[in-house]
Amino acid sequence: RPGEEVRRHTYENIVASGQYTINHVHIGFTEKAHYTSAKFKAGDSEFEACGFTEAYVTGFDAPFVEESMLRLGLAMVEDIPIKRNGTRLVIGEVVHAFIPEDAIEENGHLNLEIIGTAGISGLNSYYSLKKEAIYPYARVSELPWRKK
């Protein structure tokens, strides 16, 4: 979101520490997770206010969400301003990944349905995820509906 008029505490924390986390939200926690986006005062704990538990890894300062089944810890690599809409693109390198073993398929793909990850559309519509299909690498020469 544009950060010119409204302070963005999350962004400020990322820049200050150089670290951040991405925590998948379980479908059972969407309401609590939704309210973490409220405009809290600097210094107020979103974790405490929304009923989540902070979890830490030694040598990594950004907090993880203990209740999350899939947690990623990232080190900020690049911060790119986007002039078109006044936003920024923060690029990070994954330095920690906590993923349940049963969610990793033989081909290395993550099965988000197994861990109950929620999906989001826009700012406030949440969905459960269901694996519908798996397809081979797409090649134009192999389009199944094309006549041979």
Please give the pLDDT value at position 130.
93
Between these two residues, 43 and 147, which has the higher pLDDT value? 43
| Of the candidates 61, 35, 62, the residue with the CA atom closest to the CA atom of residue 49 | 35
pLDDT tens across 55-69, in order?
999 999 999 999 999
In this predicted structure, the answer to whether residue 7 has a pLDDT above a threshold of 70 is: no
Give the pLDDT mean for 112-131. Answer: 94
pLDDT at 138: 92
